Amino acid sequence: MGFRGTAIWSAVPFQGRGVVIPSPLESVSLSVVIFLVTAAAAPLLKSRQASLINIAFSASAIASVIAAFAGFNAVATGAVETMVLPVGLPDLPFYLRLDATSGFFVTVTAVLVFFVSIYSIGYLKGFIGHPAGLAGQRKVTSLAVFYCLFVAGMLMVVLADDAYFFMISWELMAAASYFLVVFEDENKEARRAAFIYLLIAHVGAILILLSFGVMAGLSGGFENFNGYTFSAMRASHIPGVWKAAAFFLSFFGFAAKAGVVPLHVWLPEAHPVAPTNVSALMSGVMLKVAVYGMVRVSFDLLHVSDWRMGGVVLVMGLVSAVMGILYALMQVDLKRLLAYSSIENVGIILVCLGLAMIFKSFDMTALASLSLVAGLYHITNHAMFKGLLFMGAGAVMHSTHERNMERMGGLIHRMPQTAVFFLVGCLSISALPPFNGFVSEWLLFQAFLLSPSFPTPLLNLIIPLGAALVALTAALSARCFVKVFGVVFLGRWRGQHDTTVNETGLEMRGAMGFAAFACLALGLLPVFFIGWIDAIPRELVGGRVSETASEFGWLWLTPVAAERASYSAPVVFAGILAVVAAAYLLTRIPRAGVRRAPVWDCGFEKITPRMQYNSTSFAMPLRRIFGFLLSVRETVRPSGADPAFPKRLTYRLKIRDRIWHGCYMPVADASFWIARRFGRLQHGRIQIYLLYSFATLILLLVFA
């Protein structure tokens, strides 16, 4: 392959040894090549499933380490590196580019892929090892192949520097993930979910393509192909209306992939049915790749400078955040709950991006970069903790063979280490210090609070309401994850048999441990992280926060100025630990004993595990408060001769997604109706079809 590149970050040869360290872009390309080769080679090991898993996922882990280091370097140096690959159609080469923004997304993707690849080695053995496994014994060849293609597709999307290569990579990512979702294809639910996913993914892809069409046409003219590169789009000045058109087309296209309400309906269907390692990646990074698309198009290619665009992003983000977490609270299926929670987190990320756009359009670069940094921080955090939580959910499902939380409980005794890691994930996602979720939320609140009075009254109304809704979302998500941890890990086992429930293997625990450690590290040392991504706000909005953020050293995070706000996670963490240790030691002095006794049963005997609060009852108060936003149908039917003393009570609860039934079903019904009407034209007789052709010709002749 001939590289015709203009590498700014030049390769540094080792003196005297003749070894050349590849530049970041070359390293990421190498990692993509490893993924593609692994995908191609995996079917050769079809007959030896165990070694297939070991080799394919070890190769993915190695490739992701390479990509992670390269991406990390690219962000740290802030250099821009480009490459042209003369493959593809004649006169349409692939343009590749690695700048700080794409380097950031490469790093986040690669780090989570590394964790999940290690996890997969342990997780997939469940598919082949035990005949009574989650889905019985089955081959995982297709899973390995599409897993590698999926990751390669995501990395390629981030590297792409022209619309053509971008769309090809985008489709590779979408198609590969379709095959991953439909992996358990004997399951009707999986086939249906995958179909909806593919449908919405393609509606989104069409919108993105149209947006690129608008930008390419206006930047290079319609006569040649020069406009299709991102550098041409970046350089061109697109007039206002077309800019808005391109922005909204691309925004809704990417929003369909990112699961923004109301385009989210595929997400809670597809994530639960996919194998859990795949759900972790889809939720943790695929949604972020869609966010990358938004960032790239709106900040870099279009230079969005109208607050109304940011306002739309902000409002859509708020709606997604609140609706996502409310639906998450109502779920009893663990993976479905996590999927809805991803919608919430994407909403929060959009709130950050929307704020950044608003600030940027009023030329407040410091605030814009603060919001952007908050968004990027949350992207990283969500990848880490949602990956961790999905891996934990997979571990739970792996050993309980159960997805329904109502039949779990008390797993902390059976799976102590998984419980610790899962608890870290719950604390992080609930935005509690000193874990990572809190830092990004704190930065977002700072951005909200620093916002001055805007000249437009509408913004002055939206910004306080936005802060209120983000606060509500955070509190609801803490509630949601108290429920998850309490119902799944605490209390007593609610299911039938728990004799087979055991701690998971070393690979799975190791991967969760890495992710949990990442959550803590990102929470404790935010200053390093903000310093690392410094080049991105400079590149996209022309401001930076790292100077002021690290003014007082690594211990103190001061995003604007010390008297405005400061936060020191290490001191808070150490302070709490010190008090806990002191209290623990001091309270032992009276030497009181500890003994175990049955729980207080109010004088009744036989307290059973079924009497515990479960997921549905835990969510009941919120079902009553926010029921008007959801579509809740609750019926209690007593049966027996005397209704006053019923023998049995039948309780039915149905919570449906309003948007699915309000927006999507009518469209689906209408298209079926139209299809049936058109079906009348078909009779299966050649004469009638010839007659149609004849009539068409006559019509054309008459009107032409």
Partner 1 sequence: MTGQFYPAIIEGVQVATVLLAAPLLVGWVRALKCWSQGRSTAGLFQPYRDILRLFSKDIVLAENASWVFRAAPYVVFGATLMAGAIIPVISVKAPLAATADVIALVALFAIARFFTALAGMDAGTAFGGMGSSREMMVASLAEPALLMSVFTVSLVTRSTSITEMVRVLSTGPFVLRPSLAFAFLSFAIIAMAETGRVPVDNPSTHLELTMIHEAMILEYSGRHLALMEWAGMMKLFLFSSLAIALFFPWGIAGMGGWLAGTAGLAGLPAAFFFLALKLALAGVAIVFVETGLAKMRIFRVPEFLGTAFILATLGMLSYFMLE
607 binds partner 1 (CB under 8 A): yes
| Binding region for partner 1 (CB under 8 A) out of 70-78, 375-383, 513-521, 601-609 | 601-609
Q: In this complex, which beta carbon is closest to partner 1, that of residue 8 or of residue 571? A: 571
Positions in 399-438 near partner 1 (CB under 8 A): 409-410, 412-413, 419, 423, 427, 430-433, 438
Q: What angle do CA 191, 197, 198 make, to 5 degrees?
A: 90
Distance of closest approach, residue 407 Cβ to partner 1, in angstroms:
15
Distance of closest approach, residue 366 Cβ to partner 1, in angstroms:
14
Q: Return d(Cα 111, Cα 147) in angstroms, integer.
A: 15
467 binds partner 1 (CB under 8 A): yes
Sign of CA dihedral 226, 158, 32, 194: negative
Write each residue from 199 to 238 as x if it is in contact with partner 1 (CB under 8 A), else as -, in one continuous string: ----------------------------------------
Task: Please return the burial class of 282, using the count of CB atoms within 10 Å of its CB with bins 0-12, 13-18 and 19+.
Answer: buried
Of 244, 472, 630, 632, which lies in the binding site for partner 1, with binding defined by CB under 8 A? Answer: 472
Query: Sheet holding 6-7: strands in order across?
Result: 6-7, 81-85, 94-98
Positions in 258-317 near partner 1 (CB under 8 A): none
| Binding region for partner 1 (CB under 8 A) out of 88-96, 349-357, 487-495, 517-525 | 487-495
Question: How many residues are present in the chain?
Answer: 704
Residue type at position 92: L
Q: In this complex, which beta carbon is closest to partner 1, that of residue 169 or of residue 331? A: 331
319 binds partner 1 (CB under 8 A): no
Alpha-helical (H) ranges within 430-568 are: 436-450, 457-488, 506-524, 526-532, 535-540, 546-549
SS3 656: strand
SS3 221: coil
Q: Return d(Cα 64, Cα 618) in angstroms, integer.
A: 40
Distance of closest approach, residue 587 Cβ to partner 1, in angstroms:
4
606 binds partner 1 (CB under 8 A): no
636 binds partner 1 (CB under 8 A): no
Distance of closest approach, residue 453 Cβ to partner 1, in angstroms:
6
SS3 23: coil
Q: In this complex, which beta carbon is closest to partner 1, that of residue 571 or of residue 688? A: 571
Q: What are phi and psi of 118, to 5 degrees?
A: -60, -45
Query: Which of 523, 203, 470 is CA-nearest to residue 347?
Result: 470
445 binds partner 1 (CB under 8 A): yes
611 binds partner 1 (CB under 8 A): yes
Distance of closest approach, residue 513 Cβ to partner 1, in angstroms:
17
126 binds partner 1 (CB under 8 A): no
Q: Are the C-beta atoms of 54 and 121 separated by less than 8 Å?
A: yes
Q: Are the C-beta atoms of 42 and 145 separated by less than 8 Å?
A: yes
The 10 Å CB-count burial string (b at 16+, else e) for 462-481 is bbeebbebbeebbebbbbbb
Of 11, 206, 465, 695, which lies in the binding site for partner 1, with binding defined by CB under 8 A? Answer: 465
Query: Which of 481, 57, 69, 487 is CA-nearest to residue 278?
Result: 57
Q: Return d(Cα 541, Cα 352) in angstroms, integer.
A: 13
598 binds partner 1 (CB under 8 A): yes
Distance of closest approach, residue 353 Cβ to partner 1, in angstroms:
21
475 binds partner 1 (CB under 8 A): yes
Q: Return d(Cα 614, Cα 486) in angstroms, integer.
A: 9
244 binds partner 1 (CB under 8 A): no
Query: Which of 420, 440, 438 is CA-nearest to residue 430?
Result: 438
Distance of closest approach, residue 432 Cβ to partner 1, in angstroms:
5
Q: Return d(Cα 612, Cα 618) in angstroms, integer.
A: 10
Query: Which of 584, 551, 582 is CA-nearest to residue 568?
Result: 551
| Binding region for partner 1 (CB under 8 A) out of 9-17, 28-36, 70-78, 618-626 | 618-626
Number of residues that bind partner 1 (CB under 8 A): 86
Q: In this complex, which beta carbon is closest to partner 1, that of residue 145 or of residue 321? A: 321
Of 478, 501, 512, 518, which lies in the binding site for partner 1, with binding defined by CB under 8 A? Answer: 478
Q: Partners of 96 in the beta sheet?
A: 83, 160
Of 602, 700, 701, 704, which lies in the binding site for partner 1, with binding defined by CB under 8 A? Answer: 602
Of 1, 599, 641, 667, which lies in the binding site for partner 1, with binding defined by CB under 8 A? Answer: 599
373 binds partner 1 (CB under 8 A): no
Positions in 532-561 near partner 1 (CB under 8 A): 556
Positions in 558-597 near partner 1 (CB under 8 A): 562-568, 571-572, 575-580, 583-584, 587, 590, 592-597
Distance of closest approach, residue 518 Cβ to partner 1, in angstroms:
20
492 binds partner 1 (CB under 8 A): yes
359 binds partner 1 (CB under 8 A): no
Q: Return d(Cα 374, Cα 356) in angstroms, integer.
A: 9
Q: In this complex, which beta carbon is closest to partner 1, that of residue 141 or of residue 548? A: 548
Largest CA distance in the chain: 105
